[in-house]
Amino acid sequence: MLNSYERSQSPPPAVKAPPPGTVPQPDSDGLPFETVPDWNNIGLFAAGIALGAVLGAAVALLMAPATGEMTRHSISRRVRRLRGDDEVWDELAEELERAASSRKEKAAEAAVDS
């Protein structure tokens, strides 16, 4: 059993060295230090940014001021336009149909309120 004096004289516990890439590493010629990038941390940071962008886009879609139907229509129209299989006339017909149905709904609401 060690007394307090002997315990204070014991060597400190061994400290593990940090993994390579997180501390400066000596050059091959032994002169000034060069910092080696830690690719694990860089990859984790990039994954965090990508995840944040995806979650931000999802929240933006959920909190959008347009209705779900209009948002879905807008997204599908953009996708079709990117694919190139949407014609101008089809898009015009859809917008006219939507405008006509919106006008009918407003007229029906006005008739009910009167």
Q: Do 53 and 85 have their domain in common?
A: no
Q: How far apart are CA 91 and CA 97, in angstroms?
A: 10
30 lies in some domain: yes
Q: Do 32 and 71 have their domain in common?
A: no
Q: Do 47 and 78 have their domain in common?
A: no
Q: How far apart are CA 5 and CA 25, in angstroms?
A: 38
Write out the residue range of the structural domain in which residue 108 sits.
67-114
What pLDDT score does 50 carry? Answer: 96
pTM of the model as a whole: 0.36
Q: Do 31 and 71 have their domain in common?
A: no
The count of C-alpha atoms lying within 13 angstroms of the C-alpha of 31, restricted to the half-sphere facing its C-beta, is 1
What pLDDT score does 54 carry? Answer: 94
More confident residue, 64 or 4: 64
What pLDDT score does 49 carry? Answer: 96
Q: Do 55 and 29 have their domain in common?
A: yes
Task: Pick the closest to residue 20 from 4, 2, 35 (CA basis).
Answer: 35
Which tens digits make up the pLDDT trace of 28-55? 666 666 667 788 888 999 999 999 999 9
What pLDDT score does 56 carry? Answer: 92
95 lies in some domain: yes
Q: Do 72 and 111 have their domain in common?
A: yes
State the total domains in the chain: 2
